[in-house]
Structure 1
């Protein structure tokens, strides 16, 4: 599926979000919500691989270009409200997919409105990453994007030196990570300051939770996944073989096939 249009939507408070639409712009379809250190561009290959719906709308959440700033009133609830604006624009959206932080946003949105289907890949929730908040704040105050990427890569994602150096060896990839790291501290602080919900996705007809095989039962993503799973009254759990948290980058076609296979009308 090819990208056909980009839309800009006002979300109030002096900010805005953009969405990139693949397929038929006015047809109901799938809405994709990326997480931290990610944007709509990073999900283009997954969107291109998805064909179970006539359209795929990928969100550029606030805080990443060309969307607007987080603003001083930013919170996890801000993200849920922004997503509500997007879903109102995408009238008749049939399914919602979120990754990581975006997965939690999607599941919380299904507390506030009825949704036919919600899918979440390794959603995270409090107390995810709380131990690095002081260092992320120091890096933000120093405007040190290099340090922010290092903290997220090593101390949250658990990448070793060789893996981090492999990322750094690709100047374009490293520059993209630096650009995307701007909201990292504020987003992680918002995630950890929100009271943990007793239940998520309670108004969704169907919930599909996805975890990469490499992260099953291991911190931080597998254990946070388990925390979320306990808060979903009913959900099917699916495992993506051979993958970890970055399946949208390392295996976008495989992830796209899995999403296609989960389409509720198939």
Structure 2
């Protein structure tokens, strides 16, 4: 499918696909991924929603404006441009760093609902992590694959990447620099004590995810005024791929219960 594009505030072209039928839902992928990371769960959501699936800046078919002056604010501006292209008021579903982007963008946008699957932020004892510096040190030493390994194991909570069926042949090692700059944003971000998010929000976590990820999800849930929390048994940080039907069912149930006019399939 040939992607469409929108132009963000700094002139960067952001590519996205549109598929499905129903109320609009914008899907924001994580740090080491592209829009292809939604391929497994997409069929389970497209039966009920019109999906807008972008490559976030710096990967896939999207531009990067040279990467100069990268910031979370630029990611938020990208989301704003995408929301303006949506036909209707969307739900935003963000996974990992995409969840952080969605959370940061939500106060500035007109949204229907918010779904956050283990948004990438640091809370409590996890504050002060220097993962970005440690990744950069390995990259500077010419160890690109090990830099990405460090991210997947530390940030993703994977005990060893060798257990992943796609490692290393299908790992997006070319995105290592992009992953590092996003981790600097994760380390700098501080969750407001009372986030200005006034739409119904579903926060999802996996039973087998790391304490870092689970603690962040729990903290976000506790601080958002209209939040509900779902824990998926037996899965970790990538239920989008390992348990797509179960995750999609949780998302669809949440939307139906908080928006009765959504069709029941």
Unaligned runs of 5+ in 1: none
Distance 1:96 1:85, change over 3 A: same
1:115 maps to 2:111? yes
* Alpha-carbon distance change, 9 to 142 in structure 1, aligned in 2, over 3 angstroms: farther
Q: Distance in 1 between matches of 2:157 and 2:190?
A: 26
1:175 to 133, 150, 170: 170
| Counterparts of 1:108 and 1:47, CA distance in 2 | 24
> In structure 1, which of residues 161, 165, 170 is the aligned counterpart of residue 162 of structure 2?
165
Structure with bigger strand share is 1
Deviations 1:178-236 (A, max 9, x none): 234331110010122234323335232x1111111223xx5111111123223212211
CA change 1:93–1:176 in 2 (3 A) is farther
Structure 2, unpaired ranges of 5+: none
TM-score normalised over the length of structure 2:
0.85
RMSD: 2.4
Matched with 1:21 is 18
Q: Tell me how far 1:28 sits from its aligned partner.
A: 4.4
Please say if residues 153 and 159 of structure 2, whose CA atoms lie closer than 8 Å, have aligned partners that are also in contact. yes
Partner of 1:250: 242
Alpha-carbon distance in 2 for matches of 1:176, 1:72? 25
Choose which of 196, 206, 212 in structure 1 pairs with 2:191. Answer: 196
Aligned residues: 254
| Residue in 1 that maps onto 2:37 | 42
1:210 aligns with 2:207: no
TM-score normalised by structure 1 residue count: 0.85
Contact 2:221 2:228 (C-alpha < 8 Å) held by counterparts: no
d(CA) in 2 for partners of 1:59, 1:201: 25
* Aligned counterparts of 1:256 and 1:117: Cα–Cα separation in 2: 15
